[in-house]
Amino acid sequence: MVTEQERKLETIDINVNVGPQHPATHGVFRMVLTVSGERVVDVVPHIGYMHRGAEKLSENVDYRQGLIYQDRTEYLAQFNAEMCYCMAVERLAGLEPPERAQYIRIILSELNRITSHYMFIGAFATDTGVYGTAFTYAFREREYIQEIFDALTGDRMMYGYFRPGGVVWDVPADFKERVRWVCGQTRVGIDDIDRLLTTNEIFITRCRDIGVISRPDAIDYGLSGPMLRACGLPFDLRRNDPYSIYDRFEFDIPTGTHGDVYDRYLVRMEEMRQSVRIVEQALEQMPDGPIMPEKAPRRLRLPPGEVYMRTENPRGEYGIYLVSKGGEKPYRLKIRSACLSNLTALKQMIVGHYVADAVVILGSVDIVLGEVDR
């Protein structure tokens, strides 16, 4: 029996709007949380605040100019995105980059994976509530690698260094020493962050057993990258569908056991170590030689055809579906965004948790809004 007084105390669920400008949304993501007290009972994600037509614009510029939209789309792992785009064009054009260019690409892509994961760690730690200290630690290490990129390409973020067929110019003389030094420094840096975060009891209790997603669900939602590997599925395109020269290197694929937020964090930490391993092996094996094929045409005209090229980016499977109907410009260029697919599972992960967990779970997806909205 409900008394009059109890009826007056009826509670309502309120909608809390997080974003598009909110410290936790890593950009301009917006989600409307329906909360009952501190529990989230429903979440409606809204994206598209940064939809700026990279696909449409790529159709209107030629193949070399289209590279700049790859940088700006995947703005935390630019080299990986450039690599995917270049390989898609190469597959259609029948170009084969020379050995040295392949090694340079692998080294830069793996270093870029490290910088991207550093960015994740910084932002994720801030989501769990660390007052910028993990962020500055991660950014210090990130800057070391970025200095190499800067010295090599002339820009800190939008490199535009790869070309269909190879790379634009050769690496400087001190490249190998600098990369070797940075590999050592990265190992130290990861250990630093390990000591700061990984074994911190509060951090563990914040991340453990939240945002769990099972393996069948992960496949069903089309998750990829560390999100998928945290569920225990050792699927990595570098191993399962080797592109470029990834089959020449020894590296481990870390997988999680629980599929929760903490596993995603650990998988990313371990991936950084494996990336360092790959970079070191690639430095050992890197031959001398040309960086562009001899017969590379000055103006790329692709034969008609369609190709879906995919690479393993820090956030998952990055795909370029390229339709050519002859000519200098792509007829259609679709960017398969790992973040977009990873975000589809957001509702299943968040509902039932606390508001504070919602922020952490969103952080563990490691979204890049440029890639989600394109």
Partner 1 sequence: MSQLGAFFDNVWVDAFWRLLVVLGLMVFVVLALTYVERKFIGRIQMRLGPMRTGPYGVFQPIADMMKILLKEDLRPASADRLAFELAPFLAFVPVFLTLLVLPFTARWSVRVLDLGLLYFLAVSGLTVLGYIVAGWASDSKYALIGAMRTAAQLISYEVPLVLAVLALSMLAGSLNLVAIVRDQGRVPFIIWQPLGFFLFMAAAVSDLTRRPFDVAAAESEVAGGPWIEYSGIRWSILYALTEYTNMFALCVLASLIFLGGWDWPLGLKWGWPWQLVLMFGKTMTLILVIMWINATFPRVRVDQLMSFCWKLLLPLAFAQIFLNGLVLVYHWPDWTFLVTSGVTLLVAGYVVYTRLPLGAPSRIVARSAV
Partner 2 sequence: MAVEEIDRGDTTTTPHPLTSLEREAERLRPVQVERPHAFYRQVLPGIVQAPADYVLALARKSSLWPMTFGLACCAIEMMSAYMSHHDLDRFGIVPWASPRQSDVMIVAGTVTKKMAPSVKLLYEQMPNPKWVIAMGSCATNGGPYTRYDRVVQGVDKLVPVDVYVPGCPPRPEALIDGLICLQDMIMRERRNIG
Partner 3 sequence: MTAPHEGPQEAPIVPPEPGTIADLFREALPDIEFVASQGPVDVMLTIDRKDVLQVLRTAKDDPQLDLKYLRCLLGVDHEEAGLEVVYQLYSFTHGHGVTLKTRLPQDDPRVASAASVWKGADWLERETAEMFGIVFEGHPNPVPLLLPDDMTDHHPLRKDNPLAQVEEWQGSRLGAAAANVGHVPAGYESIAGEGGEPEGPSGESGG
List residues near partner 1 by CB under 8 A: 14-17, 22-24, 35, 38, 125-133, 135-137, 140, 194, 196-206, 208, 232, 234, 239, 249-258, 262-263, 266-267, 270, 354-357, 359
> Is 326 one of the binding residues for partner 2 (CB under 8 A)?
no
> Is 140 one of the binding residues for partner 2 (CB under 8 A)?
yes
Minimum CB separation of residue 271 from partner 1 in Å reads 10
Give which of partner 2, partner 3, partner 1, none residue 233 binds (C-beta under 5 to 8 Å, depending on kind). Answer: partner 3
> Is 356 one of the binding residues for partner 2 (CB under 8 A)?
no
Cis peptide preceding 20, ω within 30 of 0: yes
Alpha-carbon span 137 to 77, nearest angstrom: 19
Sheet with 14-18: strands ordered across: 14-18, 30-36, 39-46
Q: Among 24, 57, 68, 283, which residue sits at the site for partner 3 (rule: CB under 8 A)? A: 57
Minimum CB separation of residue 5 from partner 1 in Å reads 21
Q: Among 48, 234, 289, 352, which residue sits at the site for partner 2 (rule: CB under 8 A)? A: 48
**Residue number with CB closer to partner 2 (52 or 180):** 52
CB 229, CB 236: distance < 8 Å:
yes
Alpha-carbon span 178 to 201, nearest angstrom: 36
| φ, ψ of residue 308 in degrees (nearest 5) | -115, 110
Amino acid in the structure at residue 67: L
DSSP state of 330: -
Amino acid in the structure at residue 218: A
Beta carbons within 10 angstroms of residue 247's beta carbon: 9
Q: Among 40, 43, 76, 231, which residue sits at the site for partner 2 (rule: CB under 8 A)? A: 76
> Is 60 one of the binding residues for partner 2 (CB under 8 A)?
yes
Q: Among 38, 143, 191, 209, which residue sits at the site for partner 2 (rule: CB under 8 A)? A: 143
**Residue number with CB closer to partner 2 (101 or 119):** 119
Taking CB under 8 A as the criterion, which residues in 104-133 touch partner 2?
A: 119
Strand partners, 8: none
Q: Which two tokens stand for residue 310?
A: 């995919």
Crossing angle (nearest 10°) for helices 355-365 and 99-128? 170
CB 310, CB 237: distance < 8 Å:
yes
Tell me whether strands 316-324 and 305-313 are parallel, antiparallel or unpaired.
antiparallel
Give which of partner 1, partner 2, partner 3, none residue 76 binds (C-beta under 5 to 8 Å, depending on kind). Answer: partner 2
In the complex, which residues of this chain contact partner 2 (CB under 8 A)?
20-23, 27-28, 48-54, 56-57, 60, 68-69, 72, 75-76, 119, 135-136, 139-140, 143, 156-158, 369-370
